[in-house]
Amino acid sequence: MKRVILHDIDSHIPNLALMKLSTHYRNRGWEVRLLRVPRAKGKHPAFEGDLHLASAVFFTDVSRARLQALQDTYGNRIEVGGSGFSLEKRLSPDIDALFPDYSLYDHSLYALGFLTRGCNKRCSFCVVPAKEGRLKRLAYSFDDFVPPNQRNVMLLDDNLLAFSGVESLLEEMIRRRYAVNFSQTLDIAYLSEEKAALLRQIDYQSARFSNRMIYFSLNYARTNHHFADRRDLLRAFGEDCVTVVCIYGFDTSLSEDYQRFHLLRRFRLIPFFQEYWPIRGVPSRLPAPFFDMDLKLMIRLTFRANGYNWEKYLRWLNRRYFEEFGRFYRPLVEVIFRYNYKHRLQWYLDRADWMTDEMYRDFRDSPPGGARTFLAGLGTGRQAGLQASNGIREIAAIFDEAAGMNSDPLTRASV
């Protein structure tokens, strides 16, 4: 019996393309095996198979390193696809039409799939316009990806509310009594009273299907008015039942971030702060200056929920500050560790030369007194990297690493 090895490089949820490929090869009588790509660098242990197929969803440094390790192991014997590898490469229509094989992941919590594809907007930080094109309804229905007796459905549609026939789709969700997670968020610009009334009749759920939650996105301060105009509609979804995803680290200034975040706090909406993960050919383009307002106003913000996620944004802000001014701003560091990981604050306080209470004073031309000792302990490889990058950006990341803050398990799929 022939064997196909399906390599999942970076999926946070079951990979839909791999599950359809699994169906395809099982229908042909092949043995199918799923391998999750490990985090370890270098060559991976090789597994024997007649065919190796891999999927990369993201174009991050971690994903590219895992992909390179696979290619080092299998060479030209492995074929790679996914948005993190190519926006042009896609499943053939006959495979794309297949019912996904959820047994590949031993997954039964929810079904996942699309009813529509594409988006008419052209947000620079998003792969959808290049990969999927304009919004369209394909020949997908719930029966194409939802197993019998499965009530939980995760929708992957890019801009569902913008689809001209969305009302009939929402009515179908109501009739089928599905619990639905709108995983890619809904576009509030298309939220009318009629659509909101239909959505309220749906059992909208978090990604874990453990509580009521509906998702919207707010990526630019210029769209704040959509939330203000629909405040009553949002309130009708229920207290603590609306999460708003905000991208940061792409092309917004500190003041633009603050305008968005302050609105969410004022409207008592749950924020989810998502750092921009670069897509191929589109690096972050933060404005200069980025720090264009009183930083204390930002760090005084508090939210009723998702505090760990807010601290993640503040840690990113902490690194940005060091990169731009050559010191860590003490009030910001103290806020980061106010509630969680308090013991790690001491790691920073023990390095007082790296801290300042003077907001926006530039210290980049005067390295802190302990810099030489700190850098000497990094090892020759890390020192070379510092020289290549002029040190500032790398040192900020090293501080996070040394303080034990270089990883964060939170992703939108866990909200």
Residues in the chain: 415
Question: Residues with Cβ < 8 Å from 112, sequence gap 6 or more?
Answer: 13, 14, 16, 100, 145, 153, 154, 155, 156, 183
CATH node for 108-300: 3.30.750.210
| Average pLDDT, rounded, for the chain | 88
> Is the pLDDT higher at 282 or at 220?
220
pLDDT above 70 coverage of the chain, percent: 87
What's the CA gap between 349 and 121, in Å, rounded?
A: 46
State the pLDDT at residue 136: 83
Output the CA–CA distances (angstroms, integers) from residue 44 to 6, 63, 75, 76, in the order listed: 14, 14, 12, 15
State the pLDDT at residue 415: 41
What's the CA gap between 415 and 413, in Å, rounded?
A: 6
List, for residues 267-325, the tens digit of each pLDDT value: 999 999 999 988 888 889 999 999 999 999 999 999 988 889 999 999 999 999 998 99
List, for residues 95-132, the tens digit of each pLDDT value: 999 999 999 999 999 999 999 998 888 888 888 877 88
**Least confident segment among 66-75, 150-159, 195-204, 404-413:** 404-413
What's the CA gap between 75 and 71, in Å, rounded?
A: 5
Output the CA–CA distances (angstroms, integers) from residue 19 to 14, 15, 143, 163, 215, in the order listed: 8, 6, 16, 26, 26
Query: Highest-confidence range of 19-33, 44-58, 387-401, by mean pLDDT?
Result: 19-33
pLDDT above 70: residue 227: yes
Helices (H), 133-277: 166-176, 193-200, 224-229, 231-235, 254-266
C-beta of residue 375 within 8 angstroms of C-beta of residue 369: no
Classified as helix, coil or strand, 154 is: strand
